[in-house]
Amino acid sequence: MKYSRLRLQSQIAWLLALMTPIISTSALAETANFGTLNLSPGFEAIQGKISGYTGGSYSLSAISNRDRDKKACIGFGDPNPDHILVLEKDFDNLKILVNSGGNDTTLVIKGPNDEIVRCGDDTGSSKDASVSDSQWKKGTYQVWVGVFEQGVKRNYTLTVQQ
């Protein structure tokens, strides 16, 4: 009986050691550096705003070299997403804008199940990034705000508009 108990404890310890990285990776995928936005159609403007800051040496092109429209995914940020955007229903159109006071920012947005990637850079005459697109499906999106120089810290506000 003593042998069986030790063997069972050993097997349980082995199983827990095997599962820990899986559980940690799963939890990491759902956390963000600066928070989560939960949005439904008709949301108020204040619900679509969140702040953060850039910084990091992770190449955002490692997430995807190009988005679904063949735009380059560029910049440096943190390996963890800066924000999680949860769309509680489908949206026909959304615009996601970065306001860092005109600093040169980039955006990478990875959709539910890693199926669709959207990337953004300069917006008109502004160096701040934006993504304006249609057909946003219900689900969880990971959002990274990057800059062109590794490790540069820039404060920003991220705004989601309908």
Closest CA to 51 of 88, 119, 99, 104: 99
- What distance in Å separates the CA atoms of residue 59 and residue 75, rounded to the nearest whole number? 6
CB atoms within 10 A of CB 96: 25
What is the pLDDT at residue 115?
Answer: 84
- What distance in Å separates the CA atoms of residue 161 and residue 44, rounded to the nearest whole number? 9
- What distance in Å separates the CA atoms of residue 34 and residue 126, rounded to the nearest whole number? 24
What is the pLDDT at residue 18?
Answer: 40
Give the residue with greater pLDDT, 14 vs 79: 79
- What distance in Å separates the CA atoms of residue 136 and residue 151, rounded to the nearest whole number? 31
* Percent of the chain residues topping a pLDDT of 90: 75
The structure's pTM equals 0.81
What is the pLDDT at residue 24?
Answer: 35
pLDDT digits (tens, 9 = 90+) for 52-102: 999 899 999 999 999 999 999 999 999 999 999 999 999 999 999 999 998
Whether the Cβ atoms of residue 73 and residue 64 lie closer than 8 Å to each other: yes
pLDDT digits (tens, 9 = 90+) for 108-120: 999 998 889 999 9
Residue 129: is it exposed, middle or buried by C-beta count within 10 angstroms (0-12/13-18/19+)?
buried
- What distance in Å separates the CA atoms of residue 3 and residue 6, rounded to the nearest whole number? 5
What is the pLDDT at residue 122?
Answer: 87
Mean pLDDT of the 17-37 span: 59
Is the pLDDT reported for residue 9 higher than 70? no
H/E stretch holding 25: helix 2-29
Is the pLDDT reported for residue 160 higher than 70? yes
What is the pLDDT at residue 2?
Answer: 53
What is the pLDDT at residue 4?
Answer: 53
Report the Cα 85 to chain-centroid distance in Å. Answer: 8
